[in-house]
Amino acid sequence: MNATRQYFRDLQVATIGGWNRFWFTQADPSTVCLIRILAGAMLFYTHLIWALNSSEFFGTNSWLRSETMARLNRSGFAWSHLWMTQSNSSLVILHILALVVFVLMTVGLFTRVTTVLAFVITVSYANRQAPATFGLDQINALLSMYLMLAPCGARFSIDRLLAKRRAAEKSVDVNPSTAANISIRLIQLHMCIIYLFAGLAKLKGPAWWNGTAIWGAVANYEYQSVDLTWMADWPIIVNLLSHATVFWEISYCVLIWNRLTRPIVLCLAIPIHLGIAFCLGMVTFGTIMLVANLAFVSPKLVRSLVGDVFRKRRRNVRSRNADGCKDVKRRETAVVS
């Protein structure tokens, strides 16, 4: 009896401790800051395409009129500010405002405000045209949702440069934060849920069991952007890719948490998503999935990689300035002589 009680006490202590460690420790925000730049750029591109085809999707004679969407959205929970207007001039203003928000988010200016606005705008556009959305919009929405929780302008941003300038030469430390940790944890768990259900749903289809499913994807003319029908002569490759996809998706939520298997899982994500991007014509979707996978890359590695790029650029600018000064001096001496 005592042993049982002890077991439950230990279980409780371990669970609460683990929960606190997982969610409430403080983390360096470098990874969320990098995701902010890449997701911001993708949001800008996605909405630029919406904006350039505004009359097709949002105007009075769009594919899906407001009345039709109202019938489809019977529950009324899928809100959108774009239902309030169908006039072209108001839509143009709304599109421009949205694009400005995404630019500010990407460069990291007023990040605390722009990330919240980015989420509101992303969800609103997606809800307005839900039947025309796909995986790209789902990942855009989840990333913008979690980024608004984190101090994702703390690094690699104009906000950071301004803070440094305000502090006038004093070093401005980037403090680790619990919000950054919660944000990154939510992206990680959401990715696990996505891959797990994507993998489990495939188990319902005989083609994933008999190993022919990948053929169904590569021989689909409407998706195809690279001709891979040569695979008809290589059924073993089709089988291997089909089985590997299912195994990878289902095991992702387990193997990604282990320090040793994580790099393998992430390395496999690259060919899988690049394959979707370049062979199935979904460059945007493949790219945003890779961006979301960055949530598993350590802030230290991000800092060293992105920091190097920033430092190199700064060094180049400095050396260019120095060269410029030397040129001016040389010209001055030439004029004097």
Partner 1 sequence: MRADNASMSRIRQSQSEVAENKLPSPRLRGIVSILLMLHLTALIAAPMAVAPSSVLSARCWRLFQPYLEGAFLNHGYHFFAPEPGPSHLIRYELRMADGTVHEGVFPNLDEQKPRLLYHRHFMLTEFMNNMIESGADEQIVTELTKSYADHLLDNHNAESVTLFLRRHFIPTPDQVRDGMRLTDLSLFAERPLGTYERSSL
Residues 271-330 that bind partner 1 (CB under 8 A): 281-284
Scan residues 47-86 and list those touching partner 1 (CB under 8 A): 49, 53, 56-57, 61-65, 67-68, 71-73, 75, 77-79
- Binding track, positions 228-267, relative to partner 1; x by CB under 8 A: -x-xxx-x--x-----------------------------
The four Cα atoms 312, 181, 298, 39 give a dihedral, to 10 degrees, of -60
Q: State which residue, 193 or 325, has the beta carbon closest to partner 1.
A: 193
CB-based contacts of 116, cutoff 8 Å, min separation 6: 148
Tell me, by CB under 8 A, how many residues bind partner 1. Answer: 87
**Could you tell me which of 238, 138, 261 has the C-alpha nearest to residue 195?**
138
Nearer to partner 1, 201 or 322 (CB): 201
Q: Which of 38, 41, 116, 132 binds partner 1 (CB under 8 A)?
A: 132
In the complex with partner 1, the residue whose CB is nearer, 201 or 301, is 201
Selected from 92, 93, 96, 134, the binder of partner 1 by CB under 8 A is 134
Smallest CA-to-CA distance from 35 within 105, 114, 124, 123 is with 105
* SS3 state of residue 27: strand
User: Would you give the DSSP letter of residue 78?
Assistant: S
Where does this chain touch partner 1 (CB under 8 A) — which range of 88-96, 223-231, 259-267, 292-300?
Answer: 223-231
Reduced DSSP (H G I as helix, E B as strand, rest coil) percent helix, strand, coil of the chain, to 5: 75, 0, 25
Contact range with partner 1 by CB under 8 A, out of 82-90, 110-118, 159-167, 226-234: 226-234
> Which one of residues 207, 255, 268, 274 is an interface residue with partner 1 (CB under 8 A)?
207
Cβ count within 10 A of residue 171? 6
Residue 193 and residue 261: Cα distance in Å, rounded? Answer: 18
